[in-house]
Amino acid sequence: MHERPFDIEDGHRVTDRGRIRYAIITALNFTLFLAVMVAGVAYSSKALIANGLHLLLDVGSLLISTLASSLSGRAPSKKNSFGLVRLEVVSALITSVSLLLASIYLVVDAVIATASRQSHASGLIASYLELFGVVGIVVNFISILLLAGVSGDRLLKKANLLHFAADSVSWVVALLAGLLARYITVSVSDLLATVAVAAVIVSSTLSIIREIVSILLDSVPSRLSIDAIEDEIMKVARVIGVHHLHVWSLSSNELIFSGHVMCDSAITIHEGQEVVAAIKEMLERQFSIRHATIEIECHVCDVPIHQVADVAGTHHHSH
């Protein structure tokens, strides 16, 4: 039976206008990243460096989203039958693990610096924390407004919006740390801000890593239920049984389905194809599964052909 080619429909791609918005958001956050890292390194502020690394995660996720959208639209090849959509997963894993290790290092380094009571240009650090806290909040607000107007893949946009919402929390923490540094030693304030920002990074990073591991293990996506899918397939006319169901994620926004569907023995090849079309339409409409491979059967496939007559209690089937 002819299988629908794997593709990304126009409604699931980021448009040219959307890519321009992504480019503006990326440029804003990358510029802020450079400024924050320069100030953080120059004045030994672990809190600023932690926020800088968080910005790096933003820039990386934006680039990954744009790149994945572009590469996903490419036609599959004989070498990559699904295209390059999993490039997003590999890139996200590398970025996430690197940020997780960097966050742990920053917290340990901030604790050591506080214990040794090293404080450099405390007034300047407090001022920079306040300045970048305000600037970061403004940049995040602009980024969210631009991102909200991007058409295309809903899940990628939602993930990026949630990411920028978490960033806003880290910038508020940086602003409060700057204010707090005027009343306590800057090393203690810097430590508290570093721990708070690192906690936000670790929390979001672990969530991303869990999703990545789930994708790489071909696990059933958490938002789907095999039982629910089976129940809906059983509602399709002429279907009398379902087995060997598999659902997994090819990437963060591409779901794959395969399964065996048993129909009544009187079904013709044309009618079987109509059943497959109905099931695929239902899977896309109700579960956002746009790539499905379905095998139509007239008896349970695990039973040898010569035993079909005995199992079904009918005449011998020839296939």
Q: What is the pLDDT of residues 267-293, one digit of tens each?
A: 899 999 999 999 999 999 999 999 999
Do 69 and 183 lie in a common domain? yes
**Residues 68 and 170 both lie in one domain:** yes
- The answer to whether 165 and 144 have CB atoms below 8 angstroms apart is yes
Q: At what angle do helices 46-72 and 186-216 cross, to 10 degrees?
A: 20
Pairing of strands 255-263, 239-249: antiparallel
Q: What domain range is 247 assigned to? A: 226-312
This prediction's pTM = 0.65
Residues 6+ apart with CB under 8 A from 110: 46, 47, 190, 191, 194, 195
CA distances from 65 to 59, 183, 288, 309 (A): 10, 42, 19, 54
Question: What percentage of the chain carries pLDDT values higher than 90?
Answer: 24
Indicate whether 290 and 199 sit together in one domain.
no
Give the pLDDT band (50/70/90) at residue 6.
very low
Say what the pLDDT of residue 9 is.
43
Give the DSSP H or E segment for 258: strand 255-263
Q: Which residues of 14-35 are buried (b: 16+ CB within 10 A; e: fewer)?
A: beeebbebbeebbebbbebbeb
Instruction: Return the residue matching tokens 């405390």.
Output: 122
| Residue type, position 270, single letter | H
The reply to whether 49 and 16 lie within a common domain is yes
Look at residue 41 and tell me if it is in a domain: yes
- Single out the residue in 216, 235, 264 at which a domain terminates: 216
49 shares its domain with 134: yes
Is it the case that residue 314 has pLDDT exceeding 60? Answer: no
33 and 138 co-located in one domain: yes
User: Cα separation of 228 and 233, whole Å?
Assistant: 9
CATH number, residue 170: 1.20.1510
Q: Are residues 161 and 306 in the same domain?
A: no
Q: Are 133 and 174 in contact (CB under 8 A)?
A: yes
Q: Can you list the alpha helix ranges (DSSP code H) found in the chain? A: 16-42, 46-72, 87-115, 122-148, 154-180, 186-216, 226-234, 269-287, 308-312
Whether 271 maps to a domain, the answer reads yes
How far, in Å, CA of 303 to CA of 124, rounded? 77
Please give the pLDDT value at position 285. 94
Instruction: Mark which of 182, 216, 250 sits at the end of a domain.
Output: 216
pLDDT of residue 203: 81
Domain contains 231: yes
Residue 146 sits in the same domain as residue 41: yes
Report yes or no on 47 lying in a domain. yes
- Residue pair 72/85 in contact (Cβ under 8 Å)? The answer is yes
In this predicted model, which residue has the larger pLDDT, 245 or 43? 245
**What span, in angstroms and rounded, lies between the C-alpha atoms of 71 and 165?**
27
1 in a domain, yes or no?
no
Q: Answer for the pair 208, 229: CB distance below 8 angstroms, yes or no.
A: no
72/234: higher pLDDT = 234
Are 169 and 116 members of one domain? yes
pLDDT tens profile 205-245: 788 788 888 989 999 998 899 999 999 999 999 999 999 99
Residue 255 has pLDDT above 70, yes or no: yes
Stretch 68-72: mean pLDDT: 64
Residue after which a domain boundary falls, among 216, 235, 251: 216
User: Using 50, 70 and 90 to split pLDDT, how confident is the model at 172?
Assistant: confident
Take residue 194 and report the two structure tokens written for it.
């570093």
Output Rg (C-alpha) for the chain, integer angstroms. Answer: 26
Q: Are residues 105 and 199 in the same domain?
A: yes
Residues 196 and 268 in one domain: no
Q: What is the CATH number of the domain that holds 270?
A: 3.30.70.1350
Looking from the CA of 121 toward its CB, the CA atoms found within 13 Å total 12
Task: Count up the domains in the chain and report the number.
Answer: 2
Q: Is residue 4 part of a domain?
A: no
Residues 113, 45 contacting (CB under 8 angstroms): no
Structural domain contains residue 221: no
Same domain, 77 and 129: yes
Residue 3 domain-assigned? Answer: no
Burial grade of 275 (CB within 10 A; 0-12, 13-18, 19 or more): buried
